[in-house]
Amino acid sequence: MNHPEIFMVLARATNGVIGANGTLPWHLPQDLRHFKALTQGRPMIMGRKTFDSLPGLLPGRRHIVLTRNEDWAEDGAEVVRSMEEAIATANAPHVAVIGGAEIFTLFLPHADRIELTEVHADVPGDTHMPPFDPEVWQESARTDHPADPEHRDRPAFSFVTLVRR
C-alpha cells in the first residue's frame, strides 16, 4: 500500500492543554460529534493512556494502540510497538491519530493534516501540545462556535483544518 493520508485529531486549549488527569478538561458535545464524524469507519492510532481514557470501544472504528508495555493487551485493541507497525496494521487510505501527546509528537513529522479543535480558554491540565509551526502548517478551513452561556465547561471553540505546506 502507498503512504496513507495520516491526519491528527485533537482539541487544544489556548494555553496548550490537551488533557487533565487522563480526561478532556472540557465538555463540548459538538466536538465529540465532530470527532466521531472524522474517525468513523477509519482506523485510529492511539497510545495506551488514550485508549484507557475512552468510554469503551468506539463503534465503527479500529483501535490500534501503540505501547511499549510488552504485556499489555485489551479486547478490541490491536497492539503495536512502533509507528511503522501502526501504519502497516492500519492498512487503510486514511489513518486517524488521536493521541496522546507522545503519539502526536511521534506522528507530527509524518502527518498530512491536522483536525484541530481550538478551545478558546486557558484551562488547568497536565498534558500539553505546543502550537503548530506556521512555516509547516497552513490553515485551510475554520468554523467558529460561541461559548454556551448555560454551561461553564463549554467555552467558545473553533474547528480548524491545518494542512502541510
- pLDDT tens digits along 91-141: 999 999 999 999 999 999 999 999 999 999 999 999 999 999 999 999 999
Checking phi first, is residue 21 left (phi over 0); if not, alpha (psi -120 to 50) or beta?
Answer: left
Res. 32: pLDDT tops 90: yes
Res. 19: pLDDT tops 80: yes
- pLDDT for 100 equals 95
- Can you tell me whether residue 94 is helix, strand or coil? strand
Here the CATH number for the domain that contains residue 55 is 3.40.430.10
What percent of the chain is predicted at pLDDT more than 70? 99
**Banded pLDDT at 153 (limits 50, 70, 90):** confident
DSSP-assigned letters across all residues of 17-76: EEEBTTB-SS--HHHHHHHHHHHTTSEEEEEHHHHHHSSSPPTTSEEEEE-S-TT---TT
Could you give the number of structural domains in the chain?
Answer: 1
- In eight-state DSSP terms, residue 4 is P
* Mean of per-residue pLDDT scores for the chain: 96
- pLDDT for 3 equals 85
- pLDDT for 76 equals 96
Domain range for 18 is 5-164
Largest CA distance in the chain: 49
Identity (one letter) of the amino acid at 142? Answer: R
pTM: predicted TM-score of the whole model, two decimal places? 0.95
And the C-alpha cell for 1? Answer: 500500500
Q: Once rounded to an integer, what is the mean pLDDT over residues 25-52? A: 96
